[in-house]
Chains A and B, each alone.
Chain A
Amino acid sequence: MKINDNANATEVGNAIENAYPDELSTTTAADQMGRINQGLSFIDTATWAISLLAIIIGGVGVINTMIMSVYERTREIGVLKAVGWKSRRILGMILGESIVLTLIAALVGIIVGIVGVEVLLSITPSTQGILEPAYSLELFIRALGIALLVGIIGGIYPAYRASRLAPTEALRYE
Protein backbone atom coordinates (compact mmCIF):
# COMPACT_ATOMS: atom_id res chain seq x y z
CA MET A 1 0.00 0.00 0.00
CA LYS A 2 1.34 3.42 -0.91
CA ILE A 3 0.66 6.35 1.36
CA ASN A 4 1.13 10.08 0.89
CA ASP A 5 4.55 11.57 1.51
CA ASN A 6 3.36 13.60 4.51
CA ALA A 7 1.46 10.67 6.12
CA ASN A 8 2.81 8.72 9.10
CA ALA A 9 3.17 5.07 7.99
CA THR A 10 2.90 3.69 11.54
CA GLU A 11 -0.31 5.64 12.26
CA VAL A 12 -1.81 4.55 8.93
CA GLY A 13 -0.90 0.95 9.69
CA ASN A 14 -2.43 1.15 13.19
CA ALA A 15 -5.61 2.70 11.76
CA ILE A 16 -5.93 -0.17 9.22
CA GLU A 17 -5.39 -2.82 11.92
CA ASN A 18 -7.98 -1.12 14.16
CA ALA A 19 -10.48 -0.96 11.30
CA TYR A 20 -10.00 -4.64 10.33
CA PRO A 21 -9.09 -6.45 13.58
CA ASP A 22 -8.24 -10.15 13.10
CA GLU A 23 -8.39 -9.70 9.35
CA LEU A 24 -5.41 -7.53 8.40
CA SER A 25 -2.03 -6.90 9.86
CA THR A 26 0.38 -4.21 8.63
CA THR A 27 4.09 -3.73 8.48
CA THR A 28 5.98 -0.71 7.20
CA ALA A 29 8.91 -0.69 4.76
CA ALA A 30 10.99 0.90 7.54
CA ASP A 31 10.19 -2.02 9.85
CA GLN A 32 11.14 -4.50 7.12
CA MET A 33 14.38 -2.62 6.47
CA GLY A 34 15.11 -2.69 10.19
CA ARG A 35 14.63 -6.46 10.31
CA ILE A 36 16.82 -6.96 7.23
CA ASN A 37 19.48 -4.71 8.77
CA GLN A 38 19.31 -6.69 11.99
CA GLY A 39 19.75 -9.92 10.01
CA LEU A 40 22.68 -8.53 8.04
CA SER A 41 24.28 -7.20 11.20
CA PHE A 42 23.95 -10.68 12.76
CA ILE A 43 25.59 -12.24 9.67
CA ASP A 44 28.32 -9.57 9.86
CA THR A 45 29.01 -10.36 13.52
CA ALA A 46 29.03 -14.10 12.81
CA THR A 47 31.44 -13.50 9.90
CA TRP A 48 33.80 -11.58 12.17
CA ALA A 49 33.59 -14.24 14.86
CA ILE A 50 34.41 -16.97 12.31
CA SER A 51 37.25 -14.84 10.89
CA LEU A 52 38.65 -14.27 14.39
CA LEU A 53 38.46 -18.00 15.10
CA ALA A 54 40.24 -18.69 11.79
CA ILE A 55 42.95 -16.14 12.71
CA ILE A 56 43.45 -17.75 16.15
CA ILE A 57 43.55 -21.27 14.67
CA GLY A 58 45.91 -20.02 11.92
CA GLY A 59 48.15 -18.34 14.49
CA VAL A 60 48.33 -21.48 16.64
CA GLY A 61 49.06 -23.45 13.45
CA VAL A 62 51.90 -21.10 12.53
CA ILE A 63 53.40 -21.29 16.05
CA ASN A 64 53.17 -25.09 15.97
CA THR A 65 54.68 -25.34 12.49
CA MET A 66 57.54 -22.99 13.30
CA ILE A 67 58.30 -24.65 16.67
CA MET A 68 58.49 -28.02 14.90
CA SER A 69 60.69 -26.46 12.23
CA VAL A 70 63.04 -25.06 14.90
CA TYR A 71 63.16 -28.46 16.65
CA GLU A 72 63.97 -30.27 13.44
CA ARG A 73 66.63 -27.74 12.55
CA THR A 74 68.24 -27.40 15.99
CA ARG A 75 71.53 -28.84 14.73
CA GLU A 76 71.44 -26.58 11.68
CA ILE A 77 70.94 -23.56 13.95
CA GLY A 78 73.95 -24.74 15.99
CA VAL A 79 76.02 -24.86 12.81
CA LEU A 80 74.91 -21.35 11.83
CA LYS A 81 75.98 -20.10 15.26
CA ALA A 82 79.29 -21.95 14.99
CA VAL A 83 80.08 -20.29 11.66
CA GLY A 84 79.41 -16.88 13.18
CA TRP A 85 75.79 -16.03 12.49
CA LYS A 86 74.47 -13.50 14.98
CA SER A 87 71.44 -14.36 17.13
CA ARG A 88 69.41 -11.58 15.52
CA ARG A 89 70.13 -12.98 12.04
CA ILE A 90 68.80 -16.37 13.16
CA LEU A 91 65.77 -14.63 14.70
CA GLY A 92 65.20 -12.78 11.42
CA MET A 93 65.55 -15.99 9.40
CA ILE A 94 62.89 -17.89 11.38
CA LEU A 95 60.58 -14.85 11.54
CA GLY A 96 61.01 -14.30 7.79
CA GLU A 97 60.11 -17.92 7.10
CA SER A 98 57.00 -17.57 9.26
CA ILE A 99 55.91 -14.42 7.39
CA VAL A 100 56.53 -15.97 3.96
CA LEU A 101 54.60 -19.08 5.03
CA THR A 102 51.55 -17.07 6.13
CA LEU A 103 51.62 -14.75 3.10
CA ILE A 104 51.70 -17.74 0.74
CA ALA A 105 48.85 -19.28 2.76
CA ALA A 106 46.91 -15.99 2.48
CA LEU A 107 47.35 -15.89 -1.32
CA VAL A 108 46.24 -19.51 -1.63
CA GLY A 109 43.32 -18.73 0.71
CA ILE A 110 42.26 -15.75 -1.41
CA ILE A 111 42.32 -17.81 -4.62
CA VAL A 112 40.46 -20.74 -3.02
CA GLY A 113 37.95 -18.27 -1.49
CA ILE A 114 37.17 -16.57 -4.81
CA VAL A 115 36.88 -19.88 -6.66
CA GLY A 116 34.73 -21.30 -3.85
CA VAL A 117 32.31 -18.33 -3.92
CA GLU A 118 31.98 -18.49 -7.72
CA VAL A 119 31.35 -22.26 -7.61
CA LEU A 120 28.74 -21.86 -4.86
CA LEU A 121 26.95 -19.13 -6.81
CA SER A 122 26.97 -21.17 -10.00
CA ILE A 123 25.42 -24.22 -8.32
CA THR A 124 22.76 -22.16 -6.52
CA PRO A 125 21.12 -20.05 -9.28
CA SER A 126 18.37 -18.90 -6.88
CA THR A 127 20.88 -16.65 -5.09
CA GLN A 128 21.89 -14.84 -8.27
CA GLY A 129 20.78 -11.23 -8.24
CA ILE A 130 20.27 -11.38 -4.48
CA LEU A 131 23.81 -12.20 -3.33
CA GLU A 132 26.57 -10.58 -5.31
CA PRO A 133 30.17 -11.06 -4.14
CA ALA A 134 32.18 -7.86 -3.73
CA TYR A 135 35.95 -8.20 -4.23
CA SER A 136 37.49 -4.92 -3.19
CA LEU A 137 41.19 -4.10 -3.11
CA GLU A 138 40.74 -3.07 0.52
CA LEU A 139 39.46 -6.55 1.39
CA PHE A 140 42.52 -8.23 -0.11
CA ILE A 141 44.89 -5.75 1.55
CA ARG A 142 43.16 -6.39 4.87
CA ALA A 143 43.46 -10.18 4.40
CA LEU A 144 47.17 -9.94 3.55
CA GLY A 145 47.70 -7.52 6.46
CA ILE A 146 46.08 -9.95 8.89
CA ALA A 147 48.18 -12.80 7.45
CA LEU A 148 51.32 -10.70 7.92
CA LEU A 149 50.32 -10.01 11.52
CA VAL A 150 49.61 -13.70 12.17
CA GLY A 151 53.00 -14.54 10.62
CA ILE A 152 54.81 -12.09 12.89
CA ILE A 153 52.95 -13.04 16.08
CA GLY A 154 53.13 -16.77 15.33
CA GLY A 155 56.81 -16.61 14.42
CA ILE A 156 58.13 -14.46 17.27
CA TYR A 157 58.29 -17.15 19.96
CA PRO A 158 59.88 -19.91 17.81
CA ALA A 159 62.32 -17.36 16.36
CA TYR A 160 63.28 -16.15 19.84
CA ARG A 161 63.80 -19.75 20.99
CA ALA A 162 66.00 -20.48 18.00
CA SER A 163 68.09 -17.36 18.53
CA ARG A 164 68.68 -18.24 22.20
CA LEU A 165 69.88 -21.79 21.58
CA ALA A 166 73.34 -22.48 23.01
CA PRO A 167 75.63 -23.53 20.12
CA THR A 168 77.12 -26.57 21.89
CA GLU A 169 73.70 -27.89 22.93
CA ALA A 170 72.29 -27.29 19.44
CA LEU A 171 75.22 -29.15 17.85
CA ARG A 172 74.74 -32.11 20.18
CA TYR A 173 71.02 -32.36 19.29
CA GLU A 174 70.15 -35.66 17.58
Chain B
Amino acid sequence: MNNSENIIEIKDLKKSYDNGTVKALNGIDLEIKKGEFVSIIGPSGSGKSTLLNMIGALDKGDEGSINVAGIDLMHEKDLSEFRANEIGFVFQLHNLIPNLTVLENVEIPMIGTSVSGKKMEKRALDLLKLMNFRSLEDVINQVPTKLSGGERQRVAIARALVNHPSIILADEPTGALDSKTGDMILNLLKDIHQKENVTLIIVTHESYVANMADRIINMLDGKIKE
Protein backbone atom coordinates (compact mmCIF):
# COMPACT_ATOMS: atom_id res chain seq x y z
CA MET B 1 0.00 0.00 0.00
CA ASN B 2 1.14 3.51 -0.75
CA ASN B 3 -0.38 4.99 2.36
CA SER B 4 0.02 2.88 5.47
CA GLU B 5 -3.19 4.37 6.96
CA ASN B 6 -5.28 3.08 4.09
CA ILE B 7 -6.66 -0.41 4.52
CA ILE B 8 -8.34 -0.29 1.11
CA GLU B 9 -6.86 1.23 -2.05
CA ILE B 10 -8.73 0.91 -5.32
CA LYS B 11 -7.55 2.40 -8.62
CA ASP B 12 -9.56 2.50 -11.84
CA LEU B 13 -11.38 -0.73 -10.99
CA LYS B 14 -13.61 -2.05 -13.75
CA LYS B 15 -15.96 -5.01 -13.81
CA SER B 16 -18.44 -6.02 -16.46
CA TYR B 17 -20.79 -8.94 -16.95
CA ASP B 18 -22.42 -10.66 -19.93
CA ASN B 19 -19.37 -10.32 -22.20
CA GLY B 20 -18.89 -6.65 -21.39
CA THR B 21 -22.44 -5.54 -22.14
CA VAL B 22 -23.25 -4.79 -18.47
CA LYS B 23 -20.70 -2.48 -16.87
CA ALA B 24 -21.12 -2.99 -13.11
CA LEU B 25 -18.04 -0.96 -12.14
CA ASN B 26 -16.74 1.66 -14.54
CA GLY B 27 -13.45 2.95 -13.16
CA ILE B 28 -13.64 3.13 -9.36
CA ASP B 29 -11.00 5.07 -7.43
CA LEU B 30 -11.35 4.76 -3.67
CA GLU B 31 -9.28 4.86 -0.52
CA ILE B 32 -10.59 3.84 2.90
CA LYS B 33 -8.63 4.34 6.08
CA LYS B 34 -8.19 1.68 8.76
CA GLY B 35 -10.96 1.96 11.36
CA GLU B 36 -13.15 4.16 9.16
CA PHE B 37 -16.95 3.75 8.97
CA VAL B 38 -18.03 4.21 5.37
CA SER B 39 -21.43 3.83 3.80
CA ILE B 40 -21.95 3.20 0.11
CA ILE B 41 -25.25 4.49 -1.17
CA GLY B 42 -26.87 4.42 -4.56
CA PRO B 43 -29.86 3.11 -6.50
CA SER B 44 -30.28 -0.52 -7.49
CA GLY B 45 -27.81 -1.50 -10.20
CA SER B 46 -25.38 1.31 -9.36
CA GLY B 47 -22.65 -1.22 -8.56
CA LYS B 48 -22.48 -0.85 -4.77
CA SER B 49 -22.86 -4.56 -4.00
CA THR B 50 -20.40 -5.44 -6.78
CA LEU B 51 -17.88 -3.06 -5.20
CA LEU B 52 -18.47 -4.66 -1.79
CA ASN B 53 -17.96 -8.14 -3.30
CA MET B 54 -14.68 -6.96 -4.85
CA ILE B 55 -13.44 -5.59 -1.52
CA GLY B 56 -14.40 -8.88 0.15
CA ALA B 57 -12.67 -10.94 -2.58
CA LEU B 58 -15.88 -12.72 -3.50
CA ASP B 59 -15.38 -11.59 -7.07
CA LYS B 60 -12.46 -10.35 -9.16
CA GLY B 61 -12.22 -7.20 -11.20
CA ASP B 62 -11.48 -7.12 -14.94
CA GLU B 63 -9.12 -4.13 -14.92
CA GLY B 64 -7.46 -1.77 -12.46
CA SER B 65 -6.06 -2.54 -9.04
CA ILE B 66 -7.53 -3.34 -5.66
CA ASN B 67 -5.41 -3.68 -2.56
CA VAL B 68 -7.07 -4.66 0.71
CA ALA B 69 -5.19 -5.15 4.01
CA GLY B 70 -1.94 -5.34 2.09
CA ILE B 71 -3.16 -8.04 -0.32
CA ASP B 72 -3.29 -7.45 -4.06
CA LEU B 73 -6.69 -8.97 -4.81
CA MET B 74 -6.22 -8.83 -8.58
CA HIS B 75 -3.21 -11.12 -8.54
CA GLU B 76 -3.54 -13.24 -5.38
CA LYS B 77 -4.61 -16.74 -6.44
CA ASP B 78 -6.12 -18.26 -3.30
CA LEU B 79 -8.19 -15.64 -1.51
CA SER B 80 -9.92 -17.97 0.97
CA GLU B 81 -7.35 -17.26 3.69
CA PHE B 82 -7.74 -13.52 3.11
CA ARG B 83 -11.52 -13.82 3.47
CA ALA B 84 -11.17 -15.93 6.60
CA ASN B 85 -8.70 -13.62 8.34
CA GLU B 86 -9.49 -10.11 7.15
CA ILE B 87 -13.18 -9.97 6.18
CA GLY B 88 -16.43 -10.42 8.05
CA PHE B 89 -19.55 -10.46 5.90
CA VAL B 90 -23.02 -9.49 7.06
CA PHE B 91 -25.62 -10.18 4.38
CA GLN B 92 -29.12 -8.77 3.98
CA LEU B 93 -30.67 -12.21 4.41
CA HIS B 94 -28.22 -13.24 7.16
CA ASN B 95 -27.36 -16.46 5.24
CA LEU B 96 -27.15 -18.70 8.29
CA ILE B 97 -26.99 -22.43 7.67
CA PRO B 98 -30.47 -23.71 8.54
CA ASN B 99 -29.62 -27.18 9.84
CA LEU B 100 -26.86 -26.00 12.19
CA THR B 101 -27.43 -24.51 15.64
CA VAL B 102 -26.72 -20.87 16.40
CA LEU B 103 -23.47 -21.81 18.15
CA GLU B 104 -22.33 -23.98 15.23
CA ASN B 105 -23.17 -21.21 12.75
CA VAL B 106 -20.92 -18.81 14.64
CA GLU B 107 -18.13 -21.39 14.85
CA ILE B 108 -18.13 -22.16 11.11
CA PRO B 109 -15.48 -19.60 10.01
CA MET B 110 -13.06 -21.02 12.60
CA ILE B 111 -13.26 -24.58 11.22
CA GLY B 112 -9.99 -25.39 9.51
CA THR B 113 -8.07 -22.70 11.39
CA SER B 114 -5.60 -23.41 14.20
CA VAL B 115 -8.26 -22.67 16.85
CA SER B 116 -9.06 -25.75 18.96
CA GLY B 117 -12.62 -26.99 19.57
CA LYS B 118 -12.97 -25.61 23.11
CA LYS B 119 -11.52 -22.23 22.17
CA MET B 120 -13.87 -22.10 19.20
CA GLU B 121 -16.86 -22.61 21.47
CA LYS B 122 -15.61 -20.02 23.97
CA ARG B 123 -14.98 -17.43 21.25
CA ALA B 124 -18.43 -18.03 19.74
CA LEU B 125 -20.14 -17.81 23.15
CA ASP B 126 -18.23 -14.63 24.06
CA LEU B 127 -19.41 -12.98 20.85
CA LEU B 128 -22.99 -14.16 21.23
CA LYS B 129 -22.99 -12.62 24.73
CA LEU B 130 -22.17 -9.26 23.13
CA MET B 131 -25.20 -9.54 20.85
CA ASN B 132 -27.73 -8.71 23.59
CA PHE B 133 -29.93 -11.79 23.40
CA ARG B 134 -32.62 -11.92 26.07
CA SER B 135 -31.74 -15.49 26.99
CA LEU B 136 -28.51 -16.72 25.47
CA GLU B 137 -28.98 -20.24 26.89
CA ASP B 138 -32.22 -20.60 24.96
CA VAL B 139 -30.70 -19.32 21.74
CA ILE B 140 -27.38 -21.13 21.32
CA ASN B 141 -28.82 -24.57 20.64
CA GLN B 142 -31.67 -23.35 18.46
CA VAL B 143 -31.63 -23.61 14.69
CA PRO B 144 -31.89 -20.21 12.90
CA THR B 145 -35.42 -20.88 11.63
CA LYS B 146 -36.65 -20.65 15.25
CA LEU B 147 -35.26 -17.11 15.62
CA SER B 148 -36.68 -13.73 14.65
CA GLY B 149 -35.13 -11.70 11.81
CA GLY B 150 -33.28 -9.44 14.23
CA GLU B 151 -31.93 -12.39 16.22
CA ARG B 152 -30.72 -14.07 13.04
CA GLN B 153 -28.94 -10.91 11.96
CA ARG B 154 -27.24 -10.68 15.37
CA VAL B 155 -26.02 -14.27 14.97
CA ALA B 156 -24.73 -13.31 11.50
CA ILE B 157 -22.85 -10.37 13.03
CA ALA B 158 -21.30 -12.68 15.65
CA ARG B 159 -20.25 -15.03 12.84
CA ALA B 160 -18.71 -12.10 10.94
CA LEU B 161 -16.60 -11.13 13.96
CA VAL B 162 -15.44 -14.56 15.02
CA ASN B 163 -12.04 -14.52 13.25
CA HIS B 164 -11.18 -10.95 14.38
CA PRO B 165 -11.54 -9.41 10.90
CA SER B 166 -10.04 -6.04 10.11
CA ILE B 167 -13.00 -5.13 7.86
CA ILE B 168 -16.74 -5.77 8.23
CA LEU B 169 -18.69 -5.64 4.99
CA ALA B 170 -22.43 -5.32 5.49
CA ASP B 171 -24.64 -5.55 2.42
CA GLU B 172 -28.04 -3.98 3.25
CA PRO B 173 -27.90 -5.40 6.81
CA THR B 174 -31.25 -3.83 7.73
CA GLY B 175 -32.96 -4.39 4.40
CA ALA B 176 -35.09 -7.29 5.63
CA LEU B 177 -35.83 -5.88 9.10
CA ASP B 178 -38.42 -3.52 10.56
CA SER B 179 -37.13 -0.03 11.43
CA LYS B 180 -36.82 -0.67 15.19
CA THR B 181 -34.86 -3.91 14.74
CA GLY B 182 -32.87 -2.29 11.94
CA ASP B 183 -31.81 0.55 14.24
CA MET B 184 -30.77 -1.93 16.88
CA ILE B 185 -28.61 -3.83 14.34
CA LEU B 186 -27.03 -0.60 13.07
CA ASN B 187 -26.24 0.52 16.62
CA LEU B 188 -24.71 -2.88 17.32
CA LEU B 189 -22.52 -2.64 14.21
CA LYS B 190 -21.49 0.92 15.10
CA ASP B 191 -20.71 -0.15 18.65
CA ILE B 192 -18.50 -3.00 17.41
CA HIS B 193 -16.79 -0.65 14.96
CA GLN B 194 -15.91 1.76 17.78
CA LYS B 195 -14.91 -0.83 20.39
CA GLU B 196 -12.89 -3.12 18.10
CA ASN B 197 -11.56 -0.36 15.83
CA VAL B 198 -12.69 -2.44 12.87
CA THR B 199 -13.26 -0.85 9.46
CA LEU B 200 -16.98 -0.91 8.71
CA ILE B 201 -18.43 -0.61 5.23
CA ILE B 202 -22.19 -0.64 4.85
CA VAL B 203 -23.99 -0.82 1.52
CA THR B 204 -27.44 0.70 1.69
CA HIS B 205 -30.00 2.58 -0.34
CA GLU B 206 -31.47 4.27 2.73
CA SER B 207 -30.06 7.72 3.46
CA TYR B 208 -30.70 7.56 7.23
CA VAL B 209 -28.49 4.45 7.40
CA ALA B 210 -25.82 6.10 5.24
CA ASN B 211 -25.82 9.20 7.44
CA MET B 212 -24.63 7.18 10.44
CA ALA B 213 -21.23 6.69 8.75
CA ASP B 214 -18.10 8.88 8.94
CA ARG B 215 -18.14 9.14 5.15
CA ILE B 216 -20.75 8.54 2.49
CA ILE B 217 -19.83 7.27 -0.95
CA ASN B 218 -22.47 7.87 -3.60
CA MET B 219 -22.54 5.52 -6.55
CA LEU B 220 -24.30 5.79 -9.87
CA ASP B 221 -23.87 3.70 -13.02
CA GLY B 222 -20.77 1.92 -11.73
CA LYS B 223 -18.99 5.14 -10.78
CA ILE B 224 -18.47 7.13 -7.60
CA LYS B 225 -20.31 10.43 -7.83
CA GLU B 226 -18.15 13.40 -6.90
Contact = CB atoms under 8 A, between A and B. Distances in A.
Nearest to B88: A83
B204 interface: no
Nearest to A82: B89
A83 B97 contact: no
A166 B84 CA distance: 16
Interface stretch (A44-52, A60-68, A85-93): A85-93
B58 A85 contact: no
Contacts of B95: 75, 78-79, 82, 171
Contacts of A80: 108
B109 to A, nearest CB: 4
Contacts of B97: 76, 79
A171 B92 CA distance: 11
B112 A166 contact: no
B111 interface: yes
Interface residues of B, number: 23
Nearest to B162: A83
Contacts of A75: 95
B91 A171 contact: yes
Contacts of B84: 83-85
B58 A84 contact: no
Contacts of B108: 79-80, 83
Contacts of A82: 56, 58, 83, 89, 95
Contact of A166 (B59, B83, B109): B59
A87 B80 contact: yes
Interface in A79-113: 79-87, 89
Contacts of B82: 84
A168 interface: yes
Interface in B107-142: 108-109, 111-112
Contacts of A89: 111-112
A167 interface: yes
A87 B58 CA distance: 13
B81 interface: yes
Give the dominant DSSP class at A's interface: helix
A169 to B, nearest CB: 9
B47 to A, nearest CB: 13
B144 to A, nearest CB: 12
Contacts of A78: 95
Contacts of B159: 83
A51 B134 CA distance: 57
B78 interface: yes
B83 A84 contact: yes
Given A167-B59, A171-B95, A83 B89 contact: yes
Contacts of A167: 58-59
Contacts of B96: 79
A80 B80 CA distance: 10
B53 A168 contact: yes
A7 to B, nearest CB: 77
A94 to B, nearest CB: 14
A68 to B, nearest CB: 15
Contacts of B109: 83-84
A166 B59 CA distance: 8
A93 to B, nearest CB: 10
User: Which 8 A-B residue pairings sit nearest by Cβ, starting from the closest?
Assistant: A84-B84, A83-B109, A84-B83, A167-B58, A86-B80, A79-B95, A168-B59, A168-B58
23 contacts: A78-B95, A79-B95, A79-B96, A79-B108, A82-B58, A82-B83, A82-B89, A83-B84, A83-B108, A83-B109, A83-B159, A84-B80, A84-B83, A84-B85, A84-B87, A84-B109, A85-B84, A85-B111, A86-B80, A86-B112, A87-B80, A171-B58, A171-B91
